Amino acid sequence: MIYFELLWSFFQIGLFSIGGGYAAMPLIQNQVVDVHPWLTMTQFADIMTIAEMTPGPIAINSATFVGIQVAGIPGAIIATIGCILPSCMIVITFAYIYYRFRGLKMVQGVLTGLRPAVVAMITSAGITLVIMAFYGERILPVDLSGINIISVIIFAVGFLVLRKWKVNPIYVMLGAGVAGVLLYSIV
Amino acid sequence: MKQKIFIKLFLSTFQLSACTFGGGFVIIPLMQKKFVDELHWIEEQEMMDLTAIAQSSPGAIAVNASILVGYHVAGVMGALITVLGTVLPPLIIISVISFFYTAFRDNVIVNMAMTGMLAGVAAVICDVVITMGKSIFQKKRVLPIVVFFASLVAVRFMKINIILIILICAVIGAVDTLYPGRKGRQA
């Protein structure tokens, strides 16, 4: 039952993406590329790009995208519900505990303990995306000479601009898109 | 009267969500402006605590924060309304994009732009990873650094299930909070 699979997959993504934003990325990749054959790695890279460009949380954006690809609009709605269900239950429970006891030391301790692991997972997903950008494939090829120079240049400039001037990522993304059109047209 | 609050809640979160590019923390200052400064529905200190809960809970921070605001202002019904307001904009936008996606993707210029933007996303994520990584290494505690490298190896090279890693690290975090070791913890 495809609807149930969507619901369950995105329920897990919602439940285990702790720390917000990019924390969901490796989980989404795991569920929709590795566990289920719903997206190719190229499509996954596309949805990360689209999610970055459009408003709203990455997890919700990908839930909608994957849901539509797999089972149309109802799929999108069900995947989104799956994604927010754990939040609804857990956040309200935490809020209750907070108003009751005014302390979340344990929760914060767990969060602190999780942080390095979350960063490690984002790092891993980031490495995959860099390989994707440079070689158009998920896994680093044996022959490294097929590297996409234009992508490397765009990546390097974007990275430099982000580190040095802390500009809004949206502008880097837009700039990278424009640079892509210009550079690939010339070459 | 109650209906008016519901409508206001829905419209506010809908607007905020439609304007939150990049997701995550961006929505927090926007919510602060709207609900604390403009509508005076929440106290400033309370908003900070709600932010901590939103961050500590699994799922998208924007969704978690809206659940908390809705719950705080108008109970469970309020939470449902704010979730709807937060989820609808990305749901609608991504649905529209998805329908054009295939035709879109085959377009040469779009393809160039997407390839460029993938390099941009890779740069954005590397930037995030370095910023997040710094906060782990700067604490100069052994445990988080060990957890980081162990998780990275586990997820990247040993292909261990992400959820399992998160659960194990959550336990490590909990134990570390309960029994802060004399050797590791800085005074």
Using pLDDT thresholds of 50, 70 and 90, give the confidence band for residue B109: confident
Same domain membership, residue A184 and residue A152: yes
Q: Give yes or no: residues A29 and A93 share one domain.
A: yes
- Say whether pLDDT at B67 is over 70: yes
Please indicate, yes or no, whether residues A82 and A96 belong to a single structural domain of this protein: yes
Region A34-59: mean pLDDT is 86
Across the interface, do A114 and B22 touch by the CB < 8 Å criterion?
no
* Same domain for A131 and A53: yes
Residues A60 and A117 in one domain: yes
A·B CB contacts under 8 A: 355
Nearest CA-CA distance, residue A143 and chain B, Å: 20
The answer on A163 and A122 residing in a single domain is: no
Does residue A61 share a domain with residue A40? Answer: yes
Q: How confident is the model at residue B184 (pLDDT cuts 50, 70, 90)?
A: very low
Name the residue among B90, B117, B170 with its Cβ closest to that of A60: B90
Instruction: Tell how far CA A178 is from the center of its chain.
Output: 22
Report the DSSP beta bridge partners of residue B21. A55
Q: Is the separation of the CB atoms in A175 and A165 below 8 Å?
A: no
Q: Which domain holds residue A169?
A: 148-187
Cβ contacts of B150 on chain A, cutoff 8 Å: 120
Confirm or reject contact between B13 and chain A (CB < 8 A): no
What pLDDT does B178 receive?
Answer: 77
pLDDT in tens, B18-57: 877 655 566 777 788 788 888 888 887 778 778 777 877 8
Does the distance separating the beta carbons of A168 and B112 come in below 8 Å?
no
Q: How many domains is chain A partitioned into structurally?
A: 2
Burial grade of A10 (CB within 10 A; 0-12, 13-18, 19 or more): buried
> Which tokens go with A100?
């009751």
pLDDT confidence band for A19 (50 / 70 / 90): low
Beta bridge mates, A18 = B58
Q: Which residue of A has its CA nearest to B61?
A: A20
Q: Please list, residue by residue across A79-95, b when 16 or more beta carbons sit within 10 angstroms of its beta carbon and e when fewer do.
A: bbbbbbbbbbbbbbebb
pLDDT in tens, B68-89: 999 888 888 999 999 999 999 9
Q: Which 151-180 residues of chain B touch chain A by CB within 8 A?
A: 151-152, 155-156, 161-163, 165-166, 169-170, 172-174, 176-178
State whether A139 and A184 are in the same domain.
no
C-alpha dihedral, B115 to A46 to B59 to A80, nearest 10°? 160
- B34 to chain A, closest Cα gap in Å: 17
pLDDT given at position A158 = 93
- Which DSSP category does A19 fall into? S
Same domain, A169 and A136: no
User: Locate tokens 């505690």: which residue?
Assistant: B141
Are residue A177 and residue A135 in the same domain, yes or no? no
